[in-house]
Amino acid sequence: MRRDQDKTLATRAPASPFRRISDRLKSSWRRSRRAALLALLIGATSISNVGCSVFDRIKDGPHDTTASYHDDYAMRIEYPEVQQCASAPAEAATQATAPLALEDPSKIPTLELTLEEAIQLSVQQSPVLRSIGGTVITNPDGTTTTFDPALAHANPLTGVEAALSDFDAQFTQELFWSNADQPQNLASNNVVTQFTPNTLQETYGTYNAELSKQTAQGASFALRHSVNYNYSNRPTRAFRSDFIGFLEAEYRQPLMQGAGTTFNRIAGPNSQIGQYNGVLIARVNEDVALADFEAAVISLVADVEQAYWELSAAYRVLEANVKGRDSALQTFQYQQVRLEAGAGRSDEEAQAQSQYYQFRAQVEAALASTDGLYTREQRLRYLIGLPASDGRLLKPTTTPTDVRVVFDWESALGQALSRRVEVRRQRFNLKKREMELTAARLNRRPRLDFLGQYRFRGLGDHLIGGSDKEAFDSLYGNITDGNYQEWQAGLEMQFPVGLRAASAAVAHANLNLRRERAVLAETELRISHDLADAGRQIMLTHQLLETNYNRYLADQRQVDVLRRRYRDGTDNINFLLQAQRQVVTSEADFYRALAAYNLAIRDFHRQKGSLLAYNQVQLTEGQWAAGAYQDAHELGRHLTPRLNPSDVEMPAPLTSGAFDPSAPQMQSFMNAPATDAMLESSPQPVESPQPATAAEDAPSA
């Protein structure tokens, strides 16, 4: 501690304990030890009282002021340099123009698009399956792509090829050289010194090679070859250098634990207790990945259809608000003329002007709000892979359905419980748990293996060649002569007493199986409820469609009557302004109900597992590599059908066969007209207005 710091501490402390300690150190060792203990206690007490203030007054040392590599470089934020390939989404991101906000849609070129074309574009533009929420930015790892099934298959840890690799032949070899130069501790009069040199000098060489193969029955075959070379200065050796080696074959067959194709196909060879990564488990994992991919495709198709019908409704809502704004402008201008002529009132003119601006605000909101036309159009653009804006305006041309659709409940429920991808996925999980329980039960047995070995040994002064007259001139010649043969056969048993871990694995697998069964039953129950809700929504939305249309017709007649009465001067302007607001609201509600009815039909198809077939979307495997076709052709030449397949014992199949979620289904619905009881005493609806299909039919803002 520096002198200035010592002075500071001395002025703050009335009596320095350190000075007393230094005096006591000069007396004796016992007194100094007591003083040291006392100083330690006093120092600890003072530090605990003042906290960190003493350490704060200590200035930084040289090591504290030296700049570190991590201060200005290692923790610096940098931009990574990666290789990015040109793709349609990347080009669409860079080609986007300024967004549309309050432009007149009637003056913008249109791009007519059917629902079928929109769905085709959405599934063909990018390998990434998009969603309305756009979670690819916030959760890129959770984004589904077309690569996910292939990634599950090619996973080096849990994929099918990884499970099959456990049965591949393994080849290992090693070659080492070493040297020994050791002085010996020998007495000069010892008899051993005549046969042992004073300095032992030897050179060693070791070569080992092994080729092993694991079979599906659990057996393992191994072929080993070992050669040891030794050069020594020992005088007792017949050859200064020699080669000793053997050629060995080994066969090991598990008889209890680890035996049989059932266990090895589920758990894999040499698996640990509770670990199951066999070929069948890997196959189920791949099927689960395919189910997840199919669910993502269904979600994409549902989002595209939702964005399409919402955009179609946004056009009609904008058209209704534009008509209301024009009607309010006419009323306002008419009231201005009356006021200038002295026949009107200023408060009525202000009311008409206020309603005009109210409808104008609604038109602006219908254009650029979160539920406006341009927002809906951009949402559909994202789903089909187009730029955010390119100077054109997407216009739906598919006519929405307005006829009443009645589904056959029994047929729809049966299809939902068999075609829903969630049910199929859960059934695969259940199948996986069943196989795990089977493997766990087979694993609760002692390890009893039959082991057989046969070996040819040899010794030679040379490795290869030499004179045939001498017995040990060549190692390989000595081995091939077969004069020295060894064999071994027997049983090998090993197991923990009580099999506690294996019993726990069985209990765990049994609980997992029961859980998956309960989840499957609950999934089917939930699907039946969701299907019932979807069927109820179809009936409700169609009834609301008819009700809102009849309401729209009534509001139109009311506006016509009140306009005539207002122009005749027999009625107040308030009734006319209110009627104008009501007719715009009822027309917008009608078109929203029309979009909701088409979305309800979509939801019913989604709940019963027929959305892909309903939208003509098919899932197929991509093209194989050219080498895969060649391998399949060459392998097929060696496979011939059996004359009597019933004589062959085969494990139980994993699945019941191929399943096509996009296959056409039997029509289980019919178009039915509305009944008198549904319409009651309301006027019969006339033909509903059709959506605009050309640029000149677009509403003018």
Please tell me the total count of domains within the chain. Answer: 2
- pLDDT of res. 124: 85
Look at residue 295 and tell me if it is in a domain.
no
Question: What does the pLDDT read at residue 181?
Answer: 87
Asked if residue 131 belongs to a domain, the reply is no
Residue 688: band (very low, low, confident or very high) from pLDDT cuts 50, 70, 90: very low
Q: How confident is the model at residue 37 (pLDDT cuts 50, 70, 90)?
A: very low
pLDDT at site 52: 57
% residues pLDDT > 70 (the chain): 80
Please state, in angstroms and as integers, the Cα–Cα distance from residue 382 to each residue in 356, 396, 511, following that order: 35, 15, 45
Among 9-13, 372-376, 411-415, 645-649, the least confident range: 9-13
pLDDT score of 642? 64
Long-range contacts of 592-595 (CB under 8 A, 24+ apart): 592/313, 592/317, 593/541, 593/544, 593/545, 593/548, 594/313, 594/316, 594/400, 594/402, 594/545, 594/688, 595/309, 595/310, 595/312, 595/313, 595/400
Residue 38 falls within a domain, yes or no?
A: yes
Last residue of a domain, one of 465, 494, 523: 494
Of the ranges 465-474, 588-597, 642-651, which is most confident?
Answer: 588-597
Most confident of 59-63, 341-345, 386-390: 386-390
Q: For 342-368, what is the mean pLDDT?
A: 91
pLDDT on residue 63: 67
**513 with 432: CB under 8 angstroms?**
no
Q: Is the pLDDT of residue 594 over 90?
A: yes
Within a domain: residue 232? Answer: yes
- Given a cut of 60, whether residue 444 has pLDDT beyond it is yes
Give me the pLDDT at residue 271, please. 87
* pLDDT above 50 for 479: yes
Which of 39, 59, 79 is at the close of a domain?
Answer: 59
14-33 confidence digits (pLDDT tens): 444 444 444 444 454 455 55
Q: Which residue has the higher pLDDT, 634 or 445?
A: 445
Residue with the larger pLDDT of the pair 679 and 235: 235
pLDDT over threshold 70, residue 393 = yes
Amino acid 689: pLDDT: 41
What pLDDT score does 19 carry? 45
Average pLDDT of the chain is 83
Question: Residues 6 or more apart from 249 whose CB is under 8 A from it?
Answer: 221, 222, 223, 224, 453, 454, 455
User: Is residue 597 in a domain?
Assistant: no
What is the band of 280 on the pLDDT scale with cuts at 50, 70, 90? very high
**Nearest alpha-carbon partner for 314 in 388, 392, 367, 359:** 367
Residue 263 lies in a domain: yes
Is 190 a domain residue? no
Most confidently modeled of 77-81, 424-428, 655-659? Answer: 424-428
Per the structure, the complete domain to which residue 480 belongs is given by 159-182+198-276+447-494
Q: Which comes out higher in pLDDT, residue 173 or 72? A: 173
pLDDT at res. 254: 95
Average pLDDT over residues 658-680: 54
Q: How confident is the model at residue 167 (pLDDT cuts 50, 70, 90)?
A: very high
Q: Distance of CA 549 to CAs 561, 590, 686, Å?
A: 19, 6, 9
- Residue that terminates a domain, selected from 37, 59, 81: 59
Return the higher-pLDDT residue of 17 and 640. Answer: 640
